[in-house]
Structure 1
């Protein structure tokens, strides 16, 4: 390059920079954004052409639409707002990976509920059915914690999944009868734990979610395996959860970013001790299944073809989903009631009648005020605010041919706050759940599915709902729970939306 041409280039660059300096900041940012969008379209032309007819925000090179998360909003809220702008089917790019966002109940029904195979036009993908989707992100990320014995990680609803569901202890014919026997011992346990929380919070407020999570973890242990473990077991559990959270975050960007098994020495030791403990529990209970735990009942009454190893894995697998999501739902419910003292006062009057005589499962399940409060909390703050699937093959969805291995986000958070289906949708109004609303919006319906929809909805949801109802009712009857002024922010933890910032003080009721 000659000195003259180099000088011309330098002068030109200098003039361009001077012009940019003279322009408003907004103009400069617009030009940079436009260039980044064009670069993305150019480099990832093949991917963008495959989804060219599906609306969505323009992706930027090289991050795609991840820039939308820089505003501090959780991904489920970003995906919900995207539904408001682009409709029930839209596109969201995670780096160069295209993901579909479903904010439409009919499309979600097609993905989660449609079982009949229907062949489309030979030149296009066939119409999507339930068999065309599988769980990708949680399956690989959580498989070291949730073993292959757990139906959650089964790739699709095939014979293996059916075997795991049919033989799962939560699916036994006597399961409801067993829950009836758990009301009194769990109520006594929760009351005792409430008194401990009162003592612990005398000098300072406690991290609310952590306190409730420990209560749930120990309550689950008492019910399913008949004992409360030492505190170190709870710590091991959260070590596994923290590793699973990191793996899920990285896997959502690209599955290859995580190895098949976690490599950390601390994790491996916690995992070894975790499964060793439940192996010992299994051996001890097999030798004398005389207690009242769910494991005792299954070993006494049968009905499951699980091997001893599969039964051990079931016991170990009760916690990863339930002991993260259930305390999130309980904590959110208690906080919402604290923010709405009128609703709390009305519920206290109903609880006085509920506990006037020994509590039974039937009376707990038929206590409409408790159910109204729980459903309204799960509507506003579902512990699992979105679900994921991946396409097995090329399919047709909403008139679009969707390539194989396309990630799909199913956004229940958006539909559970959608107007006009929910009037005054952002407000906490337990009274909205009258008989008509309860009938039209059951668990797993179009606009209310905090536990998922269809055959692959949470297999332990009946136990989770029972434990949440009992804990909410028992705690509120026993103690006053005073929260600090922290906002109800949620963070992503082990696939669950968790209100970890909240702090609370527990005070005995007079």
Structure 2
């Protein structure tokens, strides 16, 4: 809590402004408002704490400007659903536009977003068929990555699963993995956006990494060239997003589709790989859940994975949902009123900061039984219908019309990756202590989650140099 002098200075200068918000609970502001609460701790932890301490609506002060932290499903529904046209995403477009361009993700509400979503490939009626056809190619890509990782004595799961996810996304996007140089350009552009997202200074003082513009030209140029080649020799049976879009939307330009394919990686690689890290960390912590996943996946036994198998594999789906509940990759959704407005019983000026928090709601003990426990069985027997993604207490991808357009693909990828990896190996995590969490490109960044892959007995005989699980455990 700010000291007496700091509180006094805030009241001296802004006390009259504070009176208009006195009905709302919140931490006592000091000379910097309540910004001090966010210095040091992760912002999502602060927002969740506010939900526990102050309830669904917490008044904060960003210096002299009022804002709200929202942990109330009804008020969140207003912002993201019923009154969504009144609220924009704030300055995130300015922060990441140099990396991703003018995409549907950062588009303004109303006609700008509406026009972009109409031509977004993953929002088309045929996208469901594209997803169903992807399972086999994704399994093959993930198996190839697992083969390489089995040779590593130790891995850092965050960068390792990030690359595995990137390669899987490449197969989904263009039908094949990309050269290492494309991934390197992808990361350089992401670091440029991340520096702007985390900047404590005006953006004009934040420099891009060396080689940023050249990397951007190469990265998006790579996908544009792939589109040009695919259009010249269109494969009627190819199931990647590029080929499917060219068949269904033949008038789109090469540059436009190349850019859409490139931004697919920024829309999901970091969040999806983070979720996989969280899943394997929790599965190590709760071995009964891991054993059940392995048993379900064992029915694959070298057979090709299909969409029908996934639909009949409730435990791998439940594991995916449960990690999205307990460790969502995105835990704060920012909004700002486009004009002066009234919300939660107070009048907010245009540009006010609204932090929509899901961490507390995903673990609210009034809604969830044993909320701190990783328990995939809560999603069986109608659990996904009781708390569908995008509902009041479970919105890892956001809520309403602007819920992440790639959410169905992310869920398919997660379930495919979990089943494919569990069928081949046990992901041994060195420590089940809570891992340190940072922040990168708007997504939670797990730190220090190390481990190794251990071939399952049915796989060990055919894998040179592999170690029997029991032997690995004894020497751990």
Q: Of 220, 223, 226, which residue of structure 2 is paired with 1:275?
A: 220
- Cα deviation, 1:302-357, whole Å, max 9, x if unaligned, reads 2x764433212101100112011000111111110011111111222222235585
Give the superposition deviation at 1:52: 4.0
Is 2:244 the counterpart of 1:297?
yes
Distance in 2, matches of 1:284 and 1:246, equals 35
Give the superposition deviation at 1:46: 6.2
- Cα deviation, 1:182-235, whole Å, max 9, x if unaligned, reads 222221121111010111x22xx2110110000110111111112211112212
Distance in 2, matches of 1:454 and 1:195, equals 40
- Cα deviation, 1:10-50, whole Å, max 9, x if unaligned, reads xxxxxxxxxxxxxxxxxxxx8x7011111122234465355
Give the superposition deviation at 1:293: 1.6
- Does the 8 A contact of 2:138 with 2:168 survive in 1? yes
Per the normalisation by structure 1, the TM-score is 0.84
- Does the 8 A contact of 1:137 with 1:388 survive in 2? no
Q: Which residue of 2 aligns with 1:401?
A: 347
Is 2:100 the counterpart of 1:146?
yes
Q: Which residue of 2 aligns with 1:412?
A: 358
Say what the alpha-carbon RMSD is for the aligned residues.
Answer: 2.1
Is 2:37 the counterpart of 1:68?
yes
- Does the 8 A contact of 1:348 with 1:477 survive in 2? yes
Q: Structure 1 residues 260 and 289, CA, compared in 2 at 3 Å: closer, same or farther?
A: farther
Instruction: Report which stretch shifted further, 357-366 or 287-296.
Output: 357-366
For structure 1, which runs of at least 5 residues remain unmatched after alignment?
1-29, 115-128
Instruction: Report which stretch shifted further, 433-442 or 262-271.
Output: 262-271
Is 2:18 the counterpart of 1:48?
yes
Q: Of 100, 104, 110, which residue of structure 1 is paired with 2:72?
A: 104
Q: Which residue of 2 aligns with 1:258?
A: 203
Distance in 1, matches of 2:267 and 2:360, equals 22
Q: Which residue of 1 aligns with 2:468?
A: none
- Does the 8 A contact of 1:289 with 1:297 survive in 2? no
Instruction: Report which stretch shifted further, 259-268 or 82-91.
Output: 259-268
Q: Which residue of 1 aligns with 2:264?
A: 318
Map 1:349-364 to 2 at 5 A. 349-353=295-299, 358-364=304-310
Is 2:28 the counterpart of 1:58?
yes
Map 1:190-269 to 2 at 5 A. 190-199=142-151, 201-202=152-153, 205-250=154-199, 257-259=202-204, 263-269=208-214
Q: Structure 1 residues 359 and 228, CA, compared in 2 at 3 Å: closer, same or farther?
A: closer
Give the superposition deviation at 1:113: 0.8
- Which of the pair has more CA radius of gyration? 1
Q: Which residue of 2 aligns with 1:447?
A: 393
- Cα deviation, 1:260-319, whole Å, max 9, x if unaligned, reads 9954443223222222222222222222221432111111222x7644332121011001
Q: Which residue of 2 aligns with 1:506?
A: 453
For structure 2, which runs of at least 5 residues remain unmatched after alignment?
458-476
Per the normalisation by structure 2, the TM-score is 0.90
Instruction: Report which stretch shifted further, 492-501 or 100-109.
Output: 492-501
Distance in 1, matches of 2:286 and 2:247, equals 46
Q: Which residue of 2 aligns with 1:180?
A: 132
